[in-house]
Structure 1
Amino acid sequence: MAKLWETLNRVGLNTFFFLLVGMIILAKAFPEWGSEASPLPLKAITGIGISVIFFFYGVKLSPEKLKQGLSNWKLHILVQSTTFLIFPLVVLLLYAVWGDETNLFWIGTFYLAALPSTVSSSVVMVSIAGGNLPAAIFNASISSMVGIFITPLWMDLMLPETAVDFDLTDTIIKLSFQVLVPVILGLFVHKYLVKYVNKHQTTLKNFDQAIILLIIFTAFAESFSENMFDGHTAGQLILLGVLMLVFFLLMMGLMYLLSKALKFSREDMITVIFCGSKKSLVQGAVMGRVMFPDPVVFGVMLLPLMVYHALQLMVGSAIAQKLGDVKSSGQKQ
Structure 2
Amino acid sequence: MELREIEIFLALAEELHFGRTAERLHVSQARISQTIKKLERQVGAPLFDRTSRRVAPTPIGARLRDDLAPAYRQIVGAVARATDAGRGTGGVLRVGFEAPGVADLIAGVLDTYRSRAADGEVEIREADFADPFGLLRAGEVDVLVTLLPVAEPDLATGPVVLTEPMVLAVPARHPFARLDSVTLDDLARDTVFRAARPAPPYWVEPPEPWTTPSGQPVRRGRPLATFQELLAVIAAGEGVCPLAAHARQYFARPTIAFVPFRNAPDVRWALVWRRTGRTARVREFAERARTQAGPSSGPARG
Q: Same fold (TM over 0.5)?
A: no
TM-score (ref. length: structure 2): 0.21
Structure with greater proportional strand content: 2
Structure with greater proportional helix content: 1
Which is bigger in relative contact order (C-alpha 8 A, separation at least 6)? Answer: 1
